[in-house]
Amino acid sequence: MSEIEIVLPDGSVKKMDEGVSVCDLAKSISEGLARNAAAAIIGDDVVSLGTTLKNGDKVQILTSKDPQSLAVLRHSTSHVMAQAVQNLFPQAKLAIGPAIENGFYYDFDIEGHTLTEEDLPKIESEMQRLVKENLTFECYKIEDVDAKIAEFKAQGEIYKAELLEEHKNDSPTLYITKDKDGNALFNDLCRGPHLPNTSFIKAFKLLNVAGAYWRGNEKNKMLQRVYATAFWNKTDLDEYLNFLEEAQKRDHRKLAAQLDLFSIRDEIGSGLILWHPNLATVREEIENYWRSEHRKRGYQIVNTPHMAKSQLWDISGHSSHYRENMYFIQDEETEYVLKPMNCPFHILIYQANRYSYRSLPLRLAELGTVYRNERSGALQGLSRVKGFTQDDAHIFCTPEQLIDEINAIIDFVDYTLKIFGMDYEVELSTRPEKFVGNIDNWDKAEEGLKQALAVKNIKYEINEGDGAFYGPKIDFKLKDAIGRTWQGATIQLDFNLPERFDLKYQDSDGSMKTPIMLHRVIFGSMERFMGVLIEHYAGAFPLWLAPEQVAVVPIADRHAEYAQKVYDKLLNAGIRVRLDDRSESMNYKIREALQDKKVPYVLVMGDREIENNEVAVRARGKGPIGEFSLDAFIEKIEKEIKNREQ
């Protein structure tokens, strides 16, 4: 028997007999490691412990302490769930069951039974039973693929048969779940990796059931998906479940009712937002920021109509590419389209003048309200609506100016998100299968975006084939206060529209050339961004955005006159203030202002304050912060507002 050399993470080399597995390696290192080993990494791949080692393999053994092992735990738990479901519903056909970001799911096709929330506890207890059996997961290479496909088909496992057919040349493997006597109880076509056995599975929770198309294609059958999660221990699981609860409390649709922010009415239609005064105030502040910041950064602000003749959309190509999302309005002779995008209008503004390379870039910005006919099931609160206002801008520039322009936008986005205390992740989406323009331009554009990101030293992920049909794009995923991500700003390159509209500028050599066009939004849409902000702040907007900044609370009726003076002075200083002179108890008024309305400052005043010509200040989340003269208080909050303090 010959020896092989294994490289351990510390760089040391260990000699092992040929044919040994990762598990043997773990045992040879220490008993404790062997007991705690969940999986391993060989090279770049996470593998099961049963994997046979090869000479020169770089091996890292994973325990529950290594972040990479969590996906293995979840994947194995998903197999246990599939096994439990098949035990309870023998007719259930298995589709796929991967680990996902915060847990895992498994898709089933169960004839004659529709899973509901009530089934989840039953499945969970069956899983508990299986886990207690201390089952092992063993990996087998499928030698005779065709025979196995036939077997799957005979069992009715049509989805597994389809998957195996597809992966027949990838040396497919089968994971068999066995009890302690070695009896095979369950098997699943699976690439792995898996835990050695179920003893690691200690904390899991089934979350919800949902429909999902087989392979994500809406032409395929709809399967039943069970979402679940698993962690190494109950503490982590509970923490995650608390997080879900916290997220639910922050739901902008719930907070909308409590804080009187917006509503959607049947009489108007779904996906159309009524902005109540409170949210309109937040929007006004944000629009003010948006306008002044655009001026500073060399943008010109424009306004364009809400509809245009069909002809315009024929030229832009939207009539063919975007038709199902457009609303048409028929006048006696002419057909109009409610604008789903602002770009064609900005292009026509470009066309109104002649440009040279010296007068570019031209940056046109608009808070442009667009209407898109969304599929009914897609609508959601403020996040997905039919009518919304994009903080849209289009930049027309020369190829030489492109990278600087992209960098400037990245700066703008970065600067803006910092104001809201939001972090972000960046994704670059490249050429899709269906695209317009020539590949050469596409390659250049993708390279340009990459360069711009490199100059800024920004880390990003690449979404192959996820670009728009007219150009590649950079997306910014906002991370809110509790770590959830939201689609926010995007920068899209466009070679298509400038050509369709035959846009020109005169270059330094006198020749006429076609400019490059950039589409970009910073917030995305006012609606979606407000939704994100509400959840980010859990409804407790910072002072500069708060619909009501200060509540004035006189303790008894005899203090009303003084309170009125305080109120008038604050109002005069441009503060959004409310005088609460109802004959309710002071405690009631404080509680309502802070808890229900989330007002940042409550000013309480009684005999003492009148005597000293002061106000007693209570800050949201901080409690009483002392007595201030009114001027000192105004000065303090004016500074906070100006600095947009969080």
Nearer to RNA, 172 or 368 (CB): 368
3-class DSSP assignment, residue 404:
helix
**Nearest alpha-carbon partner for 156 in 202, 209, 199, 110:** 110
Q: Which is nearer to RNA, 17 or 584 (CB)?
A: 584
Which span sits near RNA by CB under 7 A: 83-91, 453-461, 497-505, 553-561?
553-561
Helices (H), 459-517: 496-500
Q: From the centroid of its chain, how far is CA 98?
A: 20
472-511 binders of RNA (CB under 7 A)? 487-488, 490
Catalytic residue among 205, 372, 528, 620: 372
Chosen residue from 552, 618, 634, 637 binding RNA by CB under 7 A: 618
Q: Is 224 in the site for RNA (CB under 7 A)?
A: yes
Q: Which residue in the set 147, 150, 184, 222 belongs to the binding site for RNA (CB under 7 A)?
A: 222
Alpha-helix runs per DSSP H in 573-617: 586-591, 607-612
The helix/strand/coil state of 106 is strand
Cα-only R_g, the chain:
31
The residue within the footprint of RNA, chosen from 390, 401, 416, 430 (CB under 7 A), is 390
Whole-number minimum distance, CB 167 to RNA, in Å?
20
Binding piece for RNA, criterion CB under 7 A, among 9-17, 165-173, 196-204, 550-558: 550-558
Of the listed 519, 536, 589, 598, which one is catalytic? Answer: 519
**Helix/strand/coil for 561:** helix
Q: Which stretch binds RNA (CB under 7 A): 89-97, 126-134, 393-401, 608-616?
A: 608-616
Spatial distance between the Cα atoms of 175 and 193, rounded to a whole number of angstroms: 9
Of 606, 636, 638, 640, the residue at the interface with RNA (CB under 7 A) is: 606
**DSSP assigned state of 592:** I
Candidate segments 66-74, 329-337, 408-416, 613-621, binder of RNA by CB under 7 A: 613-621
Do the bridges between strand 362-371 and strand 300-301 make them parallel or antiparallel, or are there none, so unpaired? parallel
Q: In degrees rounded to 5, what are phi and psi of residue 213?
A: -70, 145
Residue 591 sits in the site that holds RNA (CB under 7 A): yes
The answer to whether residue 294 is catalytic is no
Using the rule CB under 7 A, is 448 a contact of RNA? no
Angle at alpha carbon of residue 215, lines to 214 and 219, rounded to 5°: 65
The token pair at 154 is 């005979």
Return the residue of 301, 308, 348, 379 that touches RNA, per CB under 7 A. Answer: 379
Active site residue 390: yes
| Closest distance of CB 590 from RNA, Å | 4
Nearer to RNA, 20 or 619 (CB): 619
**Cβ distance to RNA smaller for residue 43 or 269:** 269
Active-site residue (options: 473, 520, 559, 597): 473
Min CB(94)–RNA separation in Å: 17
372 is catalytic: yes
Ranges of H-type helices in 431-495: 439-455
Kindly indicate which of the ranges 170-178, 220-228, 234-242, 399-407 contains the residues binding RNA, using the contact rule CB under 7 A.
220-228
Provide φ and ψ at 234, rounded to 5°. Answer: -65, -35
Report, in Å, the least distance between residue 24 CB and RNA: 40
Residue with the two structure tokens 């089952």: 135
Binds RNA by CB under 7 A, chosen from 556, 613, 629, 632: 556
- Going by C-alpha positions, the residue among 517, 491, 492, 493 that lies closest to residue 503 is 517
Q: Catalytic site residue 252?
A: no
Q: How far apart are CA 72 and CA 210, in angstroms?
A: 23
Token look-up 């006004």 returns 284
Instruction: Report phi then psi at 544, rounded to 5.
Output: -65, -25
Contact positions with RNA (CB under 7 A) in 271-290: 271
Count the residues of the shown chain that bind RNA, applying the rule CB under 7 A.
74
The footprint of RNA on residues 325-364 (CB under 7 A) is none
Please confirm, yes or no, whether 276 is among the known catalytic residues: no
231 to 270: interface string for RNA, x by CB under 7 A: --------------------x-xx--x------x-x--xx
User: Distance between CA 131 and CA 137 in Å, rounded?
Assistant: 12
306 has catalytic annotation: no
**Could you tell me if 600 and 550 are in contact, meaning their C-beta atoms sit under 8 angstroms apart?**
yes
Residue of the chain from 3, 31, 218, 509 that contacts RNA (CB under 7 A): 218
Least gap, CB of 636 to RNA (angstroms): 16
- Taking CA atoms, 167 is separated from 95, 162, 284, 554, in Å, by 14, 9, 55, 75
- What is the DSSP code string of 247-264? HHHT-HHHHHHHHT-EE-
Residue 148 or 520: the one with the smaller Cβ distance to RNA is: 520
User: Is the alpha carbon torsion for 445, 447, 453, 458 positive or negative?
Assistant: positive
Please identify, among the stretches 45-53, 291-299, 381-389, 498-506, the one whose residues bind RNA according to the rule CB under 7 A: 381-389
388 binds RNA (CB under 7 A): yes
Q: What are phi and psi of 52, to 5 degrees?
A: -80, 135
Question: Which residue stretch of 4-12, 173-181, 500-508, 588-596 sits at the interface with RNA (rule: CB under 7 A)?
Answer: 588-596
Nearer to RNA, 172 or 524 (CB): 524
**Encoding tokens for residue 162?**
């389809």
Nearest alpha-carbon partner for 569 in 618, 631, 639: 631
Q: How far is the CB of 585 from RNA (least distance, A)?
A: 4
Give yes or no for a cis peptide into 90 (omega within 30° of 0): no
The CA angle 530-531-537, to the nearest 5 degrees, is 85
- Active-site pick, 79, 252, 394, 528: 394
> Residue 473 catalytic?
yes
Residue 243 CA to its chain's centroid (Å) = 16
Q: Which residues are catalytic?
A: 343, 372, 390, 392, 394, 473, 519
